[in-house]
Amino acid sequence: MTNPLLTDWTGPFALPPFAEIKDEDFAPAFDVALTEARAAIAAIAETPEAPSFANTIDALELAEAALDRVSGVFYNLAGADSTPAREALMRDLAPKMAAFSSEVTMNAGLFARIEALWGARDTLGLSPEQARVLELYHQMFVRSGAGLSGEQAARMAAIKERLAVLSTAFSQNLLADERDWFRPLSEEELEGLPDFVIEAARAAGAERGAAGPVLTLNRSLIVPFLQFSPRRDLREIAYEAWVARGANGGATDNRALAAEILSLREERANLLGFKSFADYKLEPEMAKTPAQVRDLLMRVWAPARAQAERDAAKLTAMMHEDGINGDLEAWDWRYYSEKRRAAEFDFDEGQLKPYLSLEAMLGAMFDTANRLFGLEFREIEGPFYHPDVRGWEVTRGGQHVAVFLGDYFARGSKRSGAWCSAMRSQRKLGADVRPIVVNVCNFAKGDPALLSHDDARTLFHEFGHALHQMLSDVTYQFISGTSVARDFVELPSQLYEHWLDVPEVLEKHARHWKTGEAMPAALRAKLEAAATYDQGFATVEYVASALVDLAFHEGAAPADPMAMQAQVLADLGMPRAIRMRHATPHFAHVFSGDGYSAGYYSYMWSEVMDADAFAAFEEAGDPFDPATAARLEKYILAAGGSRAPDSLYTAFRGKMPGVEALLKGRGLLEEV
């Protein structure tokens, strides 16, 4: 029987034939694709022809076409809809894919050709985009160890393989802990919870085959439970289970894995001549050095901590008024903060959610993209990779732009968090290839699904990433879409969040799911007034995580990461009732791969830019100003990695921003 992963996909938009693909198809498809890629790479490296951009870089861009196709399907499914077979294959593939990557980037013949082109780059008549692609290829090979030989080269390859195995294990352990923990809730234990939390708990119970409502570790369920449950004992149980992910002992414990990952990263950096992994990792980023990262984070830490301590005193007083003596604990913060918000601003999440149905917010998200960039969205029929997934064809002026897939509901087979990925990336080399872009979230299922304001921000955030992929307009896949510096990649996503709170967007789309009535102006005013509420807490839990990440990678790798985490937090004066957003054993950003390692700061680095970028629309007097939107598309969304990020941002805005816009946006400026 023909393997559907290896045939031409002739259906609408050349989508993968999801209904025909079985788990057992993936392993043989990877074998064939890897064999084809190895042959193509060998042909490039061993050709007797003198190196040219066409026979080396262009050829490399197309050498792994089959592997890209198979990987694009598999890794999307493995993260969003895991099965035991997919998890087993992930473990098997991790060292194989790492070994293949090392074979390519440490291929002496291939590197010699790239070196020759790099040395002659000024004489090759390259376009600016080609010059950038050559620069990044040369950088990638050097940073991957292409200049190493002998024992050092062998050790580098072994380190990469081991890191791939460890990162896969870390992710799967975390998924197992999240999937396996749940607590049944009696009718008595539901008392005091808003209807939307109760409905989410009942849906979670149904999804798990339980007899009644359950509490799970899905953020969209556990956070509102911590906000609204009057049962302090249950809040403590829930919170401690949530923060214990990856640290429960036994087969899924991630602490030893984290220590080994950090040690191997340090060794990898040392082999390449860097004094620390942070120095290695930050060299190609906008921040450049650990010192620059620390400076940004500490400028924000001081006012945020001061605000959080003031807020903690108020919440403690509220708790004491309830007759609970002693210290405010981490499982108390959200509950009393929600009560305080309701008292000070006269509204709570329960008032807001009926106006923020998933359908309404999808409409707001698409309408905003239409007004800014002229995009139109037409829902299309599946089947896709899971019954929950929905699809849209994206067009502009009648021309096909992309296929967009949305996978929005939590389930046991999906890893936590939210993300955007490309099942197929945009390029023009060889053919005009249009992308297939996937947004994945973990909202609580409901009829209808009602979002919190934070959920709605997440929806807009991930769609900002999707726009970066869909509007990409470059020749080379290597620099398309989100293939940019890590501390630049969050700019489009965080910028897009701003449009959620634009008054005319809320007025048009935030409509009651049952009556269709617009969100009352008074409620919108309360939402706006509370926009920076509890930002001391939010900023402290984030910056603490970023500073721990930096400390892990800035010097010698700690033998005991948990001890270092505790020391960093003690040195910072971490408020006792706030914990890191991501403790080490479940810090997937940092340990499930290299993406955000020594780079968790990047959300804040990008926030400096996104605050300033939205100010460009405000200065134009129109959040949908056509000229500003056109510049945003040209220099940020369409450009991918075709230029250095500071060059792209300056082209859009005229200058690089300072931290003041970020502090103002978080309501912390006056405390500096």
Q: How many CA atoms lie within 13 A of 63 on its CB side?
A: 24
Tokens of 65: 């076409």
d(CA 628, CA 621): 11
d(CA 163, CA 156): 11
d(CA 609, CA 615): 10
**What's the per-residue H, E or C state across 213-258?**
CEEECCHHHHHHHHHHCCCHHHHHHHHHHHHCCCCCCHHHCCHHHH
- Does the annotation count 462 as an active-site position? yes
Tokens of 576: 């006792």
Q: Helices marked H in 106-216 — which ranges? A: 108-119, 128-143, 150-180, 195-207
d(CA 132, CA 249): 47
What residue has token string 């009560």?
339
Q: Which of 338, 462, 490, 497 is catalytic?
A: 462
Element (H, E) at 614: helix 602-620
Show the beta-strand stretches assigned E in 301-460. 376-380, 390-396, 399-409, 419-424, 436-443
Instruction: Report whether 82 contacts 415 (CB < 8 A).
Output: yes
**Cα 550-553-559 angle, rounded to 5 deg:** 120
Instruction: Report whether 214 contacts 208 (CB < 8 A).
Output: yes
Q: Cα-flanking dihedrals φ and ψ of residue 572, to 5°?
A: -75, -20
- Which active-site residues does the annotation give? 462
